[in-house]
Structure 1
Amino acid sequence: MPRVRRTAAVLAVVLAAAACTGGGDDDSPLPRSGPDGGPALLGAVDLDAAVDGDVRLLDLAPDPGGTPVALLVDDGTRGWLVEVGPGDDGPTATTLLEVPAVGDDAELSVLPDGSFLVAGTGPTTGYQLLTVPPDGPAKVTALGQRPDRATTALSPDGRTLYAALTLTAPGPAQLLAVDLAAGVVRTAAPVVPAGTVTALTSRPDGTLAALVETGEGRALLAGYDANLRPVGEPIDLAPDAPVGVPADLDVTADGTVVATAYVSAGRETGRLVTVVDGEVTGSVDLEGVGDSALDVLVSPDGGTALVPQADLLFPAELVVVDLTSGERAATVSLCGGAGVLGDVAAVGADGGLVVTGSCIDGDGPQATAFLVG
């Protein structure tokens, strides 16, 4: 993606269990801050209604102006790109275009020229890149693989797509660098250390940071140069935990990495880890995250991290963590009770945040985008 961070949309079925009612229907002013002076929920929008269907949200990516675009699919042959942003009476969802059906591993990037790039495994094809320019015909680039799992990252200049593909055993997971203009794989290399890459992002200097889940159940942070060669030693994000399942990471402008991982067998406990210059400098445990993708977004100043938290016995909320003290700086309730939460993304420079997910109530499944500001 064209910003530093790449969200790993690991909850492809994030909306299958629950629903949430929308906000912004009354005429009263929306609150601009919560009771603790921090951010507040400004409203919610039903993404199902935006496309008049029952959909699942696979990914969320910013366009060149910073407005989030959601990749939605149904259970058949259809997909949509929907822009989510603030409106006069709360959040709005505007359908941009319809795309062919894609697999549950599909991820979305928006290129600097406004082209949409959907990477994923097609129903009848292998792993491929679908590029839809602002004007002109769509282009499909087939990569000749059918991975069990995949995650991607766009280079800072938008010219190269990096993909980490977990292949059927006994083959090792592969890193690919795809030249988007030429439509060819420029470089390929095995994932080192061996394991499944759960999240991948480009650093400001053009190198890569990856979260790797090893066969021994460890969550590692690994680095690669632009030619996919390993850089530095892998870092265990939770060496004291019985298990480590890496979830997501964000990279700040100065290269600091903030990552999340599940650190209990039932995934009800998570951990937020800060890594500076190859050393772990902070670690915060998060309780009640079993129904969260543990997506993470770091503030532009690098001082706070925002993580959606959800679990059956815990409220669904967006938590703001002070990375210096490790304390909660603010909490934003997204549902009246429990819920299932996925991605978090900024809306431009100062337009707030969008969190995706679904609240647990009796209205039936609804793909929902929450606006926080």
Structure 2
Amino acid sequence: MMVGALAAFFVLFVPMGLAGWHLSRNKVLFFSGALFISLAIAVHLTPYFPSISRLLVPLPSSSPPVLSPISCLSSIHDVFWSSHDPPSWSWSRSNPALSCGFQKLTRSDASDLLNGSRIIVAGDSQARLLALSVLSLILDHTAMDTVRADLFKRHSDYHISVPENGADLDFVWAPYESNLTETLRRIEVNERYPDVVVMGDGLWHMLHFTSALDYGVALRDVRRSATGTGRSRHMFWLGMPTLVSAKLNTEEKRMRMNMSIWASYEQEVNSSGLLRQFGGPFLLLDVGLLSRGCGSRCTVDGMHYDEVVYEAALHIMLNALLIESHQRI
């Protein structure tokens, strides 16, 4: 480096110094010549002095840090709700949610993401409402009129193929955890393994058995069956909604389905090892959190919420799929 700098000194300074002496007889020519000489010297010597380079070359503007998939998944429920009616939701505009680029997918984007996928949604009426949200996003309004009538036939399974993108969706009526375990066993022997599995229940167990400990034992069976399948990492657990006791429509429900019992059931979900953050196979779709955010204005009967809550859960699921499959819309 020193040899190069010395050579640059003789090559530049000697002839330019002589030129400067001749130009000194004219002030305008002198100052313009001096400026030219200074700039030329700086350009030629800068590569030999990195500290000078850093001063002359501006640093790139700061940008939001790129967060890891794990960080983004842990922040994916960072949403807030509007105070007006009808209620609406959106993701937080601050980090880390902003850095992760969460977004509500359009019908076209969702259809592309789920193109050719087999989707299984299994559980109680909450799971049925999520299945409705999936279809509401990827089907047009005309098709949805028929879907609503067929999907909500009481205590029944439902299947639909979507010709626009080749996706198949199955809703499996599975109000108890043993039903979920049986569904997972059937999935394992099926030749076409689902690309996305969504499961969730607990309300029926709470109403008819009201034993959080028994519920936890049953969830451990679900976890073992789900772990045994081992062929899908796109597995989601649909959390129970926040209960509004004053709006529950029977005395039995108000007695058995209060928030104290609800909290004990939630604790069993966490301690069962079912959820991803506790080492399990399922990523939580936290309907409890989302329904609390929307509030009691969003439920008529204290346990089933307006479509906007399940829409939020759906878009959280779709963004998780984008993260896990390393895609961007």
TM-score, normalization by structure 2: 0.31
Higher helix share: 2
Name the structure, 1 or 2, with higher relative contact order (CA <8 Å, separation 6+).
1
Higher strand share: 1
TM-score, normalization by structure 1: 0.29
